[in-house]
Structure 1
Amino acid sequence: MDFLHFFSIIPALLLLVLIIASKSLRSNINGRKKGGKLPPGPWKLPIIGSIHHLVGFHSQLAHHRMRELSKKYDELMHLQVGEISTIVVSSAEMAKEVFQSNDINFGGRLDRPSLHILFYDYSGLAFSPVGNFWKLLRKISSTEMLNAKHVRSRSFQSLREKEVSNLIKSLSTQVGCCVNLSDMVLHTICDNVSKSIFGEKYHNNGQEAILSLVQMFTKATEETIVSDIFPSQKWLQVITGERLKLKKLHHKIDMLLEKIINDFGASNQQEEEGPQCLFSALLNLKHHGDLTINNLKAIILEMILAGTEPSLTVVEWAMVEMLRKPRVMKRAQAEVRQVVFRNKAYNNNIDETSLEELEYLKAIIKETLRLHPPGPFLIPRDCTETCEINGFTIPIGTQVMVNVWAIGRDPNYWGTSAEEFLPERFLKSSIDYRGLNFEYIPFGAGKRICPGMLFGMASVEIILASLLCFFDWELPYGITPKTLDMAETLGAILKRKSPMILVPTFYNINPAPHK
């Protein structure tokens, strides 16, 4: 939850209250500084630390501001965000130190009050501490649910193909009109996530619940959670009303998940749906005593959130970047159409197996992730053992934020065209997003790398291929590629500030010959 709107939303009275508590706050902060030389960073104020360096600079978002600060200080920079001692990593070399050389020391997650409430006291995979239980969940996700073989299985492919075909049919009824493509794609992704998790027959009961969950979380992450910046001050959760608000949100989420689980059990579909239903695998583990009901709910919640908005934002940015560069869109459309229209029985439906041939489309997706990673800082890590990086001491309990957005735009790795959308850079490159190339880590690296990246990218590929294949695209009247809104907003993910409003026009497969 974004702490960088701190001064814009916290009343002056609260700051006075914080000053009264400064003695205990300074004690907490100074306790983390002992025992070594921290990386350089901007000067700090009592209580708030470095927050004043992060706000009020022409409305710069956190990833922009931290890039500017790192240029002034170092690729390994120290910030004090309230009580939270924070190291910001802004180079591939330092990212490698964190994710590879010292991965064992940076496997933790920071103790955030808001996340504890919303994610069932860290009962899922994303936030649970590294240990035997985390290893079990990781094994489940990598071997039984989200591995490449399962994601690319015919049953999962069929689900994606059907949902995207429905999207194309819906767009076909609105040709020539302005459509909210963001909203339509989100519904398609939610449909696919619902069917993938709960099975095709349960889809009608689960889709609306999933959409509701996504919308609730989107709204919640747009707000600052002050108690996350000062976690030791439990009273802050009370006087700000944050704890009550988060508890109410969690109750709504829990009721939705409870209903989904009960309805699924009542429908008795887990055996009928077979291995293509992710929830069946989780239920089997629960029945064998490996998972609790809270584990089950937390994992489902994480899968829903990770499988929806991040995929949507990649589709949005890819389409917008192509509209700004018609040359790129035309080349991508030509490639997709050449492959798809070889099959005379395509019928508004793309056979997902043909996507392997679309090298330029894959390059577009990679380039989109380079410039617009859904998580510009990934999920921050917690230092679980004091260690040394580049001559600096990183104390236990320090939050580590890797600015993958800044690394992805660094001219040292991407040349003078680092800020330009240029998919061709990936056509003859072995660089991939699987966490081995530290100049390009949109999904992270090491043991905490995103386990669902293959699932998300499978949806992105077929959605983009279908949008490019069956339609040409125009901007609404009065908007040109140069005036297209590229404003960002940062909550749980980095996304476009405004929805993607476009005009689809039919692509004429067999144009009439010129006379």
Structure 2
Amino acid sequence: MLWGCSSDSGDLFHGFREVEFKIIELLAAPNISDFIPMLSWFDLQGRNKEMQKQKEHFYRILDRIIEERIETNSTKMEGAVEEEGRKDFLQTMLELKDQKDASTSFDIVHIKALLFDILTADTTSTMAEWVMAEILRNPGVKTKIQEELTEVVGINIVEEAHLPKLKYLDAVVKETFRVHPPLPLLIQRSPDESCTVGGYVIPKGSIVFINVWAIERDPKN
């Protein structure tokens, strides 16, 4: 879906899954520097060093994938008529990059960043598993979802245009997010300037942890 081939094919992806899983593991690993910022310079647990090593390996793979696609596109453009068909994510991003009338700048760095985020963001697959688990545990909910899909989609494949009409399924997904947040604490925030949130003054440079688990269980929200 991302670039048109399996991550298990060829020497290009040697160690791809390992480095991807290692990055996800490092993102979730406890880091004392997150709680005591003054220690971040020392990298006592070696998290930053290891993450940088894995990121460099990951980006080398992405660089090769993008370079090969650009070369392939150049070859096809030499007197060939572009074939109509579905495009993968990388092809769409490269075409956006080459648009002369684009309102915002878009380059290879942005493409690699998007691919990196998609491949290392494990929350989507985790939430899909939780949704399916809760549906299986609640036969009545499953029946209602099936009836809605039959009414809205029928025997066709679900398209983006169907999504606004699948209101019950949307509610099920949102409720699953509430009951099973991917992480109890969101990624920490740090304001660039002092501000007031909910009556509390947040000084500039403070590290703020948001307890989404507690928020989603607060009856006042």
Tell me the TM-score normalized by structure 2. 0.71
The residue aligned with 1:261 is 66
Contact 1:383–1:398 at 8 Å: present in 2 too? yes
The residue aligned with 2:31 is 225
Q: Give, in whole Å, the separation in 1 of the partners of 2:70 and 2:187.
A: 33
Contact 1:206–1:260 at 8 Å: present in 2 too? no
Alignment of structure 1 residues 202-221 onto 2, 5 Å? 203-204=4-5, 212=17, 214-221=20-27
- Which amino acid in the other structure matches residue 336 of structure 1? L
Q: Deviations over 1:473-512 (max 9, x none)?
A: xxxxxxxxxxxxxxxxxxxxxxxxxxxxxxxxxxxxxxxx
SS in 2 for 1:204: coil
* Cα drift, residue 339 of structure 1: 4.1
Q: Give, in whole Å, the separation in 2 of the partners of 1:354 and 1:235.
A: 50
* Cα drift, residue 254 of structure 1: 1.8
Q: Give, in whole Å, the separation in 2 of the partners of 1:319 and 1:374.
A: 15
- Which amino acid in the other structure matches residue 361 of structure 1? L
Unaligned runs of 5+ in 1: 1-190, 414-515
- Which amino acid in the other structure matches residue 148 of structure 2? E
Q: Give, in whole Å, the separation in 1 of the partners of 2:52 and 2:212.
A: 32
Q: Give, in whole Å, the separation in 1 of the partners of 2:99 and 2:8.
A: 22
Contact 2:152–2:162 at 8 Å: present in 1 too? yes
Tell me the TM-score normalized by structure 1. 0.34
Match of 2:150 among 315, 334, 337: 337
Unaligned runs of 5+ in 2: none
Give the 3 Å change call, closer, same or farther, for CA 244–291 of structure 1 in structure 2.
same
Contact 1:226–1:236 at 8 Å: present in 2 too? no
The residue aligned with 1:277 is 92
- Which amino acid in the other structure matches residue 337 of structure 1? T
State, as a whole percentage, how many aligned pairs show the same letter. 30
SS in 2 for 1:412: coil
* Cα drift, residue 396 of structure 1: 0.8
The residue aligned with 1:369 is 177
Q: More deviation in 265-274 or 222-231?
A: 265-274
Q: Give, in whole Å, the separation in 2 of the partners of 1:351 and 1:234.
A: 46
* Cα drift, residue 233 of structure 1: 3.3
Corresponding position: 1:406 with 2:214: yes
* Cα drift, residue 274 of structure 1: 10
Larger strand proportion, structure 1 or 2?
Answer: 1
Q: Give, in whole Å, the separation in 1 of the partners of 2:88 and 2:198.
A: 50
SS in 2 for 1:393: strand
Alignment of structure 1 residues 475-486 onto 2, 5 Å? none
Q: Give, in whole Å, the separation in 2 of the partners of 1:395 and 1:243.
A: 26
Q: Give, in whole Å, the separation in 2 of the partners of 1:339 and 1:390.
A: 41
Contact 1:205–1:260 at 8 Å: present in 2 too? no
The residue aligned with 1:327 is 140
* Cα drift, residue 398 of structure 1: 0.8
Contact 1:386–1:395 at 8 Å: present in 2 too? yes
Q: Deviations over 1:128-182 (max 9, x none)?
A: xxxxxxxxxxxxxxxxxxxxxxxxxxxxxxxxxxxxxxxxxxxxxxxxxxxxxxx
SS in 1 for 2:182: coil
Contact 2:195–2:201 at 8 Å: present in 1 too? yes
Give the 3 Å change call, closer, same or farther, for CA 231–399 of structure 1 in structure 2.
closer
SS in 1 for 2:178: helix
Q: Give, in whole Å, the separation in 2 of the partners of 1:391 and 1:339.
A: 45
- Which amino acid in the other structure matches residue 22 of structure 2? M
Q: Give, in whole Å, the separation in 1 of the partners of 2:107 and 2:125.
A: 31
SS in 2 for 1:262: helix
Q: Looking at CA atoms only, which structure, 1 or 2, has the larger radius of gyration?
A: 1
Contact 2:153–2:162 at 8 Å: present in 1 too? yes
* Cα drift, residue 408 of structure 1: 1.9
The residue aligned with 2:130 is 317
Give the 3 Å change call, closer, same or farther, for CA 257–368 of structure 1 in structure 2.
same
